[in-house]
């Protein structure tokens, strides 16, 4: 029986991940950290309402077996690149560092396709910088997921996301391009949990590109 920790339980993938963890018999405690109540009730759920800018007040609660990080925002919602960087990099890195210091063994991060710390694209560079930073933390195992386009019900409407999801469906019908099809939040959540349950590999850090994610779903 394991304790799962979850950052970002209200987003597209985070919400799906929360529900799947609560219904998974391999986890007896699911501890979530977010800024406001999520409205989910379950005997296994421990919900902590926190302020990410006051990590020292609650970082002792980051104790368990696996930390899933689904935290993130958009540039539009954040309002500026600095504000988005604070959420997508600083909050995630500081929480990961605290969890590693508390003895959490496995870290599962949702990154992004084309994440690269040397990229000229702000979003890709930010995600790459986070990947590089967390790889240096003393976890026993680090799983980094780089999904492509995601689709599903969100609190805010994203018209372009729906358009690209439909286009990706057509592209995925071409030979060798199945992995270009947009993933649902539920599918990505299933892949995250499946990877976390697999026996560790030789390397400490495991990278899952879109093609690898589809292989997990087919297994």
The reported pLDDT for the residue numbered 182 is: 78
Residue 173 lies in a domain: no
Question: In the predicted model, what is the mean pLDDT of residues 22-42?
Answer: 94
Closest CA to 38 of 79, 7, 4, 74: 7
DSSP SS3 for 174: coil
Query: What Rg value do the Cα atoms of the chain yield, rounded?
Result: 17
Select from 71, 72, 4, 10 the least CA-distant residue to 40.
10
Q: What is the pLDDT of residue 178?
A: 55
Range of the domain at 193: 2-156+184-209
Number of domains in the chain: 1
At residue 31, the pLDDT reads: 98
Does the residue 198 lie in any domain?
yes
Residue 18 lies in a domain: yes
24-48 b/e (C-beta count within 10 Å ≥ 16 → b):
eeebebbbbbbeeebeeeeebbebe
Helix (H) or strand (E) holding 205: strand 205-209
The reply to whether 168 falls in a domain is no
Domain assignment present for 174: no
For 67-82, the pLDDT digits (tens) are 999 999 999 999 999 9
Instruction: Examine residue 170 and state whether it is found in any structural domain, yes or no.
Output: no
pLDDT in tens, 135-159: 999 999 999 999 988 876 645 554 4
In the prediction, which pLDDT does 40 show? 92
Please state, rounded to an integer, the average pLDDT across all residues of the chain: 89
- Are the beta carbons of 69 and 127 closer than 8 angstroms? no
CATH number at residue 8: 3.40.50.720
The catalytic residues are 123, 127
**Per the domain annotation, does 74 fall within a domain?**
yes
Q: Considering the domain boundaries, does residue 163 fall inside one? A: no
pLDDT at res. 156: 56
Q: Which of 125, 135, 154 is nearest to 97 (CA)?
A: 135
């Amino acid at each position: 029986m394991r304790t799962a920790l979850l950052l970002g339980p209200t987003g597209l993938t985070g919400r799906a991940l929360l529900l799947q963890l609560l219904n998974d018999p391999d986890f007896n405690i699911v501890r979530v950290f977010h800024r406001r109540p999520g409205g989910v009730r379950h005997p296994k759920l421990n919900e902590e309402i926190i302020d990410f800018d006051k990590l020292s007040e609650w970082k002792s609660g980051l104790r368990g077996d696996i930390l899933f990080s689904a935290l993130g925002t958009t540039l539009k919602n954040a309002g500026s690149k600095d504000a988005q960087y604070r959420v997508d990099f600083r909050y995630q890195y500081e929480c990961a560092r605290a969890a590693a210091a508390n003895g959490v063994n496995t870290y599962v991060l949702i990154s992004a396709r084309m994440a690269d710390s040397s990229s000229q694209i702000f979003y890709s560079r930010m995600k790459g910088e986070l990947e590089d930073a967390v790889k240096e933390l003393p976890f026993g195992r680090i799983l980094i997921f780089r999904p492509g386009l995601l689709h599903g019900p969100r609190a805010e409407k994203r018209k372009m996301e729906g358009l690209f999801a439909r286009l990706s469906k057509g592209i995925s019908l071409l030979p060798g391009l199945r992995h270009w099809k947009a993933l649902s939040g539920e599918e990505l959540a299933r892949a995250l949990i499946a990877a976390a349950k697999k026996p560790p590999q030789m390397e400490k850090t495991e990278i899952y590109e879109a093609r690898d994610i589809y292989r997990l779903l087919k297994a």
